[in-house]
Chain A
Amino acid sequence: MASDISPCTFDILKNPDGEWTIVLSGSLNINTAAGTLSTLTSELKKNALTSLKFDLEKIIDIDDYGALVLYELKNEVCDPDTDFQILNPPEKLQNLMTRMKSNNSKQSRLTSFSSVSNLVIQAGETAIENFKSIKYFITFIGSLVMSALRIFQKPKSLRFDDIIRHMKTTGVDAVPVVALISFLLGLIMAFMSSLQLKQFGANIYVASLVALAMVSELGPIMTAIIVSGRSGSAFAAEISTMKISEEVDALLTMGFDPVLFLAIPRIIAAIIVIPLLTMFANLFAISGGLLIGVTMLDLSATSYISQTINSLNLFELFWGLSKSLVFAILISCVGCLRGFQAKGGASAVGHAATSAVVTSIFLIVLFDSIFAVIRSYWG
C-alpha cells in the first residue's frame, strides 16, 4: 500500500531553560522522514537542550522511517543526560522503536571489535584460505595425474570430440589476433632498433634482432599472454559456471570424473595448439620486421630472409617451443583449477576468470625467468 504523502509539519515550543517540545503533525513516513530529520537536526543542534519532547498526537501516519527520525534525533542531538520523551505515541510506534533498539544493540556488538583484532582475524583467515588453496592445487595436480593414467587404461574415456572443439576455440580462433599483434610487434621492434643500428650502418642486423628476440623470448610469451586472456579465462568461466549450476555435481553422480571430462580435453588441446600458435606468431613478427626492412632500411627481401635464417638455429626454435609447451600446461591447468575452485553465485564466475588470467600471467613470467636462469647456466 502506498504511504500517505501529506507533508509533515512541526511547531517548536521552547523555554529559556532548554526544555523543548516539538509538536509534529501530518505524516511522518518514508516520503517525509528524510526532510524532517535534516530540518530538525539542523534546528536542534544549534541549541543546548535539557529536555526534548515530541508530541505525536496530531500525527496521522507513521512508519519505520518515522521511528528512525525519532531514534536518530535522540542519538544525534541529545546528550546522555537530556530528558527525551515521546508524548502520545501511536500504538505501532512503540513496537518499531523497540525493534530499532534491539537491532542497534546487535550492530554495536558487531562493530565493537577493535581494528587490531580485525586485522589479526583477517590475516588468519587469509592464511587459512591460502593454505586451503595450496591443498586444493596439490589435490588437483594429483587428480590430473590419476586421470591421465586412467586414459592409458581406458582410452575410450578420452573425449576426442571435445579436444577438437577446444583446439578450434583455443587455437584456430586465436590466429587472427595473435597474427596481428605479432606482426605489429615485429614491425615496432624493427623500426625502433633500426633507429640505433642505422647509425652504425648495421641495418641488416635488424633481421637478426627481430628473429632471435621473437623466436626465443617474445613469441612464446606474447602468445601465452594472449591465450591466457582468451582461453584461460574462458576455461575458468565455463567450468565455474558448470560448477555453480550443479553440472559438475551431476557428472560426479553419474560416475564421471569431472577432471577427466572437463580439464583433460582442454589441457591436451592447449598443449597441441599453443606451440603452433607460437610458430605463427614468430612468422608474423618476422614478416613485420621484413616490411620495415624492405620499405625503410633499403634491404632486399632475400637478404633480410637469409639473415634471419642464418641467425636462427634449431636449438633456438626448440627452446622457444618448449617454453610455449610449458606455458600451455600452465595456462590450461590454472584456468581449469580456478574453474573448479569457484564457489557461490555469479560473482564467483567473474572472480574465477580474473584470477585465472592474473595467476597465468604471473606464472608465465615466473617460468620464463626460470628458463632464463637455466639457459644462463647451460651456456
Chain B
Amino acid sequence: MTIYNVTGIINFAQGEFAMLGAMVLVSLEPLGLPLPVGVAVAVAAVALMGGLVERLTIHPARRASPVTLIIITIGVDISIRGLALLVWGTDPYAISPFTAGPPLRVAGAIITRQGVWILGTTALVLAFLYVFFEHTYPGKTLRACAINPLSARLSGIRPDRMSLLAFALSAGLGAVAGIVIAPLTLVSYDIGLGLGLRGFVAAIMGGLVNPAGAVVGALLLAVLENLAAGLFRAAYKETVAFLVLFLILFFRPHGIFGGGARGGL
C-alpha cells in the first residue's frame, strides 16, 4: 500500500515478501537466536530484498507506464516463488507459536495466543505507520511525493529514491505479517500468492490508500471466508476473496468505506 501511495503501482509481489519473512526465520532457526533477534534479522533481510527487487526490476523500467510496472511486479511474484521453490523445496515448515499455552477465552470467544500476537502486531504496525507518515521527515517526504510528484521533484526529492524506500518498507512490513501468521498456518514456498491476493482485496475494501481501512477490510474478509467455509463447505473459502474483489470493483470502486483516492495515509 505504501508502494501504491508513493509510486502509483500495485505491487503484486507483496505476498511473496510475507512468505520470505517466514522462510528466512525458519532458516535462521538452526542458529538458535532468540526470537526477537531472529525476527529482526528476517525483517531486515526481507526489507533489503525488497530494495533489491526495486533496483533490479522497477528502477530500470521507471519511465514505463504504471500498467507495465504492475505487470513487472507479477513477474517478480512468479520469480520469487520459483526461487523459493529452489531454495526451500516444496515441504511446508512450521514455526512454533511465540508464546506457548492453551488458547484464551475472551468474552465467550476462543482466541489462540498467536491470534493475540497477530492483533497486537497489527495495532503496532498501524501505530508505526501513523507515526512514520505524520511525524517523521522521511514519512512526510514520502507523502509529499505521493500528493504532488511534480512539486516533490521541484523540491529536490528524488522519486527513484522514494520508490526504493517504499519497496524496502513494504517488504519489511510484509515480512512482519508473514512471520506473525506463520505459526498458525505453516509456511511453504507458495503461500505468498494467496496472502497477496487477500491483502489486495482487503486493501481495495479499505479504499486502497488507507491502512486502517485495509485492516478492517481484512477482518471483514476473514469473517466472510470463514462463514462461507462453515455454512457451505471448506473449499468455498478460497473463492470468497475473488467474489468480494469482483463485487467491490463493480459496485464500490472507491472502497466500501467511502472516501477513496485521497492523499494522506
Q: Does A pair with B? A: no
